[in-house]
Amino acid sequence: MQWEVVIGLENHVQLTTESKIFSGSPIKYGADANTQASPVDLALPGVLPVMNKQAVERAIRFGLAVGATVAPHSVFARKNYFYPDSPKGYQISQFEDPVVIGGALTFGYEKDGEFVTKTVNLTRAHLEEDAGKSLHEDYAGMSGIDLNRAGTPLLEIVSEPEIRSAAEAVAYAKALHSLVMWLGVCDGNMQEGSFRCDVNVSVRPVGQKEFGTRCEIKNLNSFRFIEEAVHVEVRRQIELIEDGGKVVQATRLYDPDRKETREMRSKEDAQDYRYFPDPDLPPLVISPEWIATVKASMPELPAAMRARFISEYALPDYDALVLTQSKAMATYFVAVVDKAGKENAKAAANWLMGDVSSTLNREGVDLDDAPVSAAQLAAMLKRIADGTISNKAAKEVFAGMWEAKSNDEHLVDAVIDAKGLKQISDSGALEAIVDEVLAANAKSVEQYRAGKEAAINALIGQAMKASKGKANPAQLTELLKAKLAG
């Protein structure tokens, strides 16, 4: 049996507001338990929720970024469930009338050795409050409840079930993570729970139109766990069906140590939550003027920036897509090109996607904290372009600048001089080297003049060796060819 995987994601994005969604309580990760919970968060008798305008603004911002409809009229509902970390006995969320409707997200990823793009449609994004947290590890035989998170503003972003592999799921999650950080609506800190992912997974025979029974894997807080959990759950469902069993709709948790998913509870449907409009909150009304104000304050979006990189800097589609997958990378690239000139845009892209990225990954450093500034990288690119150093020597120069950790824009010249990496471009010095090599390699000279053009490579190699790698390769090759033709 050939199986097709069907995946939809629900991402809970913590919004970068100064206070909670319905109260003035602060939001500070790591604070002592129950020190950031007001009477509103604790649902004490007589309290009333008040909508946080900053949370709505961030929802509008996201909706505009993904080409969605920002609803002029949306409604908050009570989602009823009874968990110890939910002091109200319900969650204030949105159900039938969300603030953001539709939209789409385009992303790129590696597939079978090629870089491909895919667009996944979004169902909705709605505002809601977070619950508190149950603490099981710190108390013997009992659990503690920390309500600091209760009331934290969330934007839940729901995709259509259009994802077909673990790799696509991770690529989608990474693109969404990058976008919400780009927009400034979320800090993206997965370890602190600012960006959490629930993955709905089902399988069906290839060619079947009807979806299989889905299971939801809750609270995945790393891209690695998303990929692992999907693979594990897909394998579990296929083996279960092929053994004659049936998949039961359920909410499951992923255990990364045992590499397995296990049932948390049977999956509830909407009717189980008994949604009804919250009587304490009026409908949320968003005027066209408010939307226009938010739109005017937004940064250049990744799609627009990609198009600009292609038209303004003549970059290939692949380069433009990679460079705009993170705002930090795009900003750094633009700063390099502003200093180095548009003629060095492709070289800047190559260095950012190559040596810069690999060094950042190896050192575990974010681009914002890289010891080599955009101005310093631009200065190095200029030294490559004007023939001061070769591309090979530039790798040593970059490493030297990284180790120096200096803010000096002239650092590149100091490193070149200190390491003796300046390329020999003096025609007289190069001519002396060429004459010496030609005299010592008569056989290669004879072969080249007899029509074996590849013989010049041996001569170039000998000349580079004689110059200790410092000869300008282009000038050297040109001079050799002129001498051999004489």
In a shared domain, residues 269 and 308: no
In a shared domain, residues 232 and 350: no
Contact 378, 352 (CB under 8 A): no
In a shared domain, residues 170 and 92: yes
In a shared domain, residues 253 and 106: yes
User: pLDDT digits over 158-184, tens only?
Assistant: 999 999 999 999 999 999 999 999 999
Domain contains 319: yes
> Between helices 391-404 and 411-419, what is the axis angle to 10°?
110
> Between helices 53-65 and 166-183, what is the axis angle to 10°?
130
Q: What is the DSSP string of 142-201?
A: S-EEE-SSTT-EEEEEEE-S-B-SHHHHHHHHHHHHHHHHHHTS----TTTTSEEEEEEE
User: pLDDT digits over 60-87, tens only?
Assistant: 999 999 999 999 999 999 999 888 888 8
In a shared domain, residues 339 and 207: no
Please give the pLDDT value at position 85: 87
Rounded mean pLDDT of the chain? Answer: 92
Walk across the sheet containing 276-277 and list its strands: 90-93, 77-80, 276-277
pLDDT higher than 70, residue 436? yes
Please give the pLDDT value at position 454: 81
Task: Choose the final residue of a domain: 289, 309, 339.
Answer: 289
**Mean pLDDT score, 18-46:** 93
In a shared domain, residues 52 and 170: yes
Domain contains 156: yes
Please give the pLDDT value at position 185: 97
SS3 73: strand
Task: Choose the final residue of a domain: 384, 419, 454.
Answer: 419
Domain contains 295: no
Domain contains 237: yes
CA distance 377 to 356: 10
User: pLDDT digits over 198-215, tens only?
Assistant: 999 999 999 999 999 999
Domain contains 189: yes
Please give the pLDDT value at position 267: 65
Residue recorded with tokens 């690239």? 333
User: CATH number for the domain including 451?
Assistant: 1.10.10.410
Domain containing 471: what range?
A: 427-485
Decide which of 266 and 310 is more confident: 310
Domain contains 379: yes
Q: pTM for the full model?
A: 0.84
**Mean pLDDT score, 97-123:** 93
**Tally of CA atoms within 13 A in the half-sphere of 294 that contains its CB:** 23
Domain count for the chain, please give it: 3
User: Two tokens at 478?
Assistant: 């040109």
Q: What is the share, in percent, of the chain residues with pLDDT greater than 90? A: 72
Domain contains 294: no
Task: Choose the final residue of a domain: 419, 454, 474.
Answer: 419
In a shared domain, residues 23 and 171: yes
Q: Where are the alpha helices (DSSP H) in 298-356?
A: 302-313, 317-323, 327-340, 345-351
pLDDT higher than 90, residue 463? no
Domain contains 175: yes
Please give the pLDDT value at position 486: 67
In which band, very low, low, confident or very high, does the pLDDT at 187 lie, cut at 50, 70 and 90?
A: very high
In a shared domain, residues 330 and 349: yes
In a shared domain, residues 43 and 89: yes
In a shared domain, residues 166 and 32: yes
Long-range pairs for 297-301: beta carbons < 8 A, 24 or more residues apart = 298/61, 298/64, 298/65, 298/183, 299/182, 299/183, 299/184, 299/327, 301/65, 301/182
CA distance 445 to 483: 10
pLDDT higher than 90, residue 248? yes
In a shared domain, residues 318 and 371: yes
H/E run at residue 65: helix 53-65
Give CA 61 to chain center in angstroms.
18
pLDDT higher than 80, residue 321? yes
Please give the pLDDT value at position 426: 60
H/E run at residue 4: strand 3-14
In a shared domain, residues 218 and 360: no
